[in-house]
Amino acid sequence: MRDHGMTLATSVARGDSPGILHQVTRAGQAAAIWTRQREAGLAEWIDGVAVENLPQARCYCTAQRARAVAQAACEGAGLPIGRAREALCADIGALAVLFGQVMGRSALHLRLEVVRDDACRKFHLDQVPARLLCSYRGAGTEYGLMRAQGDPQPVCRMATGDVGIFRGALWSGDEMSGVVHRSPPIAGFGAARLLLVLDVLGAAQHGR
């Protein structure tokens, strides 16, 4: 259990270029979010794929192998080769490499999963040094400042396609993240999310 007397990092950096994600390593930054527009062709394609055919994967890999993992997941789901499919795989690969660069690590745990319920509806800190989240389909991750009791107020939400890196409970150093997050409630709405989750393995590298 982390010492709650530690300094809290409470800032969330937001920007429209990928370089903003490096801000998560700076003092006082609990998270960094790259706000971006979904590429129209990719968005139309992924939103039109039947839920049972959405690609899924869970494995340990290097950042450089993430694109191949995504391609294998698409093959396994029976998705035909095409421009949109390759755009998805290329983006997953690029995000893995960028995450590895931000954290100074090449070993990652990758999850590409279909979310159809409220399994992660409670606000929390992940038990990892840091986590990257990107919802390719469906609502984005919700986040806000930690409170002693109750959910954050206000609650912010990433847009579909946005990329966020959130410090976890195992972030090394003398700061504890004061920003918690959750999957948005979707049960009962017939919605499905396609979520990319990347976890860094080992100690977070920051203060550079």
**What is residue 128's predicted lDDT score, i.e. its pLDDT?**
94
- For 45-69, the pLDDT digits (tens) are 999 999 999 999 999 999 999 999 9
**What is residue 158's predicted lDDT score, i.e. its pLDDT?**
97
Strand pairing category for 107-115 and 57-62: antiparallel
Compute φ and ψ for 76, nearest 5 degrees.
Answer: -65, -30
Evaluate if pTM is beyond 0.95. Answer: no
- For 92-138, the pLDDT digits (tens) are 999 999 999 999 999 999 999 998 865 667 899 999 999 999 999 99
